[in-house]
């Protein structure tokens, strides 16, 4: 049931404050502001030398954010790959390592094959899945469910932010077990997570402005997304979402890679969406933005109040999000990124919930 929404995708975007809240409640002890791990976890993060993460599509981008978090907050090296490559790579793995699989459906063929390979190599198997009765969940030693509820739209939205929520909790728990995060650090990070549903609700209020921007975007043939650090995976996710449902060609790039090639594409016909909150990497990304502006590119900037001030009149449009702790940025910036793709697709008149050539769960190789 779509309720009052025109598409399942819109409904699912709007459900995010609530489902993130549910997911958080499953992993966080609100009274002590700490992450709660199952008692019978068969591994200890302090014993691990590295982690392998494997997934496809949007779930892979969630994993990429997870890698940045694990490295920064738990000082734990992470290898990540798309499952369709990982499964054929004959990756050497040290016995007793941890492999994490992320999947909304829990039925993605390549992700499952990668899981079985890691299992055969003596890894602990942890899966982050939305469908609890799925094959991936069944074959995992440990399951960390996302509590997103059924996701009907082919374009993944709420499952993505719930995957991020679980990965954020895991990174905090890992940081604690490895002695990287002190009690007060953990509380600070958990506190930032608890604020996410409220910030997400605020981000949803940008919708009317996003609709205006989407009207222009729907006339583009190619769109570029740029982001750095934690926002790089979001640039990838933004481009995937846009091409999936609007059929407009889009590419996501690490902002620093711009000058290594894609800048050749920039002219007044290629909108460039820059995801750049005013954090420690802001200045770097803004100088990439200036390179785009100098070539006549039309910039759409996703930032906060300080970022908007600092970028002056260079962007053609600016979406101003609330100021937040860097740690939780991907969870909140995901929302305008999803809404931009959604409204562009609506202007194009495509079948938003059932885009051509795509299936909700990819059970073929």
Task: Decide if residue 62 touches ligand M6R (CB under 6 A).
Answer: no
Going from the C-alpha of 107 to that of each of 8, 140, 283, 339, the distances in angstroms are: 21, 12, 41, 27
Q: According to CB under 6 A, which one of 16, 52, 108, 135 is a site residue for ligand M6R?
A: 108
Question: Residue 60 or 282: which CB sits closer to ligand M6R?
Answer: 60
Q: According to CB under 6 A, which one of 16, 52, 104, 303 is a site residue for ligand M6R?
A: 104
165 Cβ neighbours under 8 A, 6+ residues apart: 20, 23, 24, 27, 146, 193, 196, 331
By CB under 6 A, the count of residues binding ligand M6R is 17
Task: Decide if residue 26 touches ligand M6R (CB under 6 A).
Answer: no
Alpha helix ranges (H) inside the chain: 8-14, 16-27, 57-74, 83-86, 109-120, 135-138, 158-177, 183-194, 196-204, 207-217, 232-246, 282-294, 305-311, 329-348
Question: Residue 263 or 337: which CB sits closer to ligand M6R?
Answer: 337
Question: Residue 10 or 181: which CB sits closer to ligand M6R?
Answer: 10
Closest alpha carbon to 76 in 101, 58, 92, 52: 52
Q: Which stretch binds ligand M6R (CB under 6 A): 25-33, 68-76, 105-113, 293-301?
A: 105-113
- The CB-nearest residue to ligand M6R is 57
Task: Decide if residue 111 touches ligand M6R (CB under 6 A).
Answer: yes
Token output for 110: 């390549």
Q: Which stretch binds ligand M6R (CB under 6 A): 100-108, 186-194, 286-294, 342-350?
A: 100-108
**Residues linked to residue 300 through DSSP beta bridges, in sequence order:** 273, 317
Question: Residue 151 or 186: which CB sits closer to ligand M6R?
Answer: 151
Q: Which of residues 118-137 bind ligand M6R (CB under 6 A)?
A: none
Task: Decide if residue 103 touches ligand M6R (CB under 6 A).
Answer: yes
Query: SS3 of 227, please?
Result: strand
Task: Decide if residue 146 touches ligand M6R (CB under 6 A).
Answer: no
Q: According to CB under 6 A, which one of 154, 172, 174, 340 is a site residue for ligand M6R?
A: 154
Pairing of strands 51-55, 78-82: parallel
Q: According to CB under 6 A, which one of 244, 251, 279, 353 is a site residue for ligand M6R?
A: 244
Residues 79 and 50: beta-carbon distance below 8 Å: yes
Task: Decide if residue 66 touches ligand M6R (CB under 6 A).
Answer: no
Task: Decide if residue 337 touches ligand M6R (CB under 6 A).
Answer: no
**How many CB atoms sit inside 10 A of residue 333's CB?**
27
**Residues linked to residue 348 through DSSP beta bridges, in sequence order:** none
Tell me if residue 259 is catalytic.
no
User: What number of CA atoms fall less than 13 Å from residue 31's CA on the CB side?
Assistant: 0
Question: Residue 244 or 304: which CB sits closer to ligand M6R?
Answer: 244
Q: According to CB under 6 A, which one of 113, 152, 348, 362 is a site residue for ligand M6R?
A: 362
Token output for 258: 């711009």
Between CA 339 and CA 345 the distance in angstroms is 10
Smallest separation, CB 59 to ligand M6R (Å): 4
Smallest separation, CB 154 to ligand M6R (Å): 5
Catalytic residues: 360
List of residues contacting ligand M6R (CB under 6 A) = 56-59, 103-105, 108, 111, 154-156, 240, 244, 358, 361-362
């Amino acid at each position: 049931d779509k309720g009052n929404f025109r598409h399942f995708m819109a409904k699912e975007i709007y459900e995010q404050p609530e489902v993130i809240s549910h997911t958080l409640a499953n992993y966080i002890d609100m009274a002590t502001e700490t992450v709660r791990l199952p008692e019978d976890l068969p591994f200890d993060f302090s014993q691990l030398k590295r982690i392998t993460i494997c997934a496809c599509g949007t779930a892979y981008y969630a994993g990429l954010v997870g890698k940045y978090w694990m490295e920064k907050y738990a000082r734990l090296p992470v290898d990540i790959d798309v499952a369709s490559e990982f499964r054929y790579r004959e990756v050497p793995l040290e016995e007793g390592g941890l492999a994490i699989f992320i999947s909304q459906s829990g039925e993605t063929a390549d992700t499952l094959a990668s899981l079985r390979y890691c299992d055969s190599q003596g890894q602990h198997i942890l899966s982050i899945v939305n469908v609890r009765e799925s094959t991936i969940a069944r074959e995992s030693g440990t399951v960390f469910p996302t509590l997103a509820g059924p996701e009907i739209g082919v374009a993944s939205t709420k499952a993505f932010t719930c995957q991020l929520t679980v990965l954020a909790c895991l990174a905090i728990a890992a940081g604690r077990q490895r002695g990287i995060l002190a009690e007060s650090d953990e509380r600070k990070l958990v506190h930032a997570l608890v604020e996410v549903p409220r910030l997400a609700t605020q981000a949803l209020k940008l919708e009317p402005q996003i609709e205006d921007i989407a009207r222009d975007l729907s006339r583009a043939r190619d769109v570029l997304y740029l982001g750095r650090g934690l926002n790089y995976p979001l640039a990838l996710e933004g481009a995937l979402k846009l091409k999936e449902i609007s059929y407009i060609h889009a590419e996501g790039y690490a902002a620093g890679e711009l000058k290594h090639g894609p800048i050749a594409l920039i002219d007044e016909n290629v909108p460039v969406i820059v995801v750049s909150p005013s954090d420690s990497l802001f200045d770097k990304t803004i100088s990439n933005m200036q390179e785009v502006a100098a070539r006549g590119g039309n910039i759409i900037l996703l930032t906060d109040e300080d970022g908007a001030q600092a970028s002056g009149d260079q962007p053609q449009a600016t979406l101003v999000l609330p100021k937040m702790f860097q740690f939780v940025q991907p969870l909140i910036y995901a929302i305008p990124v999803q809404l931009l793709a959604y409204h562009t697709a609506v202007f194009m008149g495509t079948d938003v919930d059932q885009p051509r050539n795509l299936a909700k769960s990819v059970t073929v190789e």
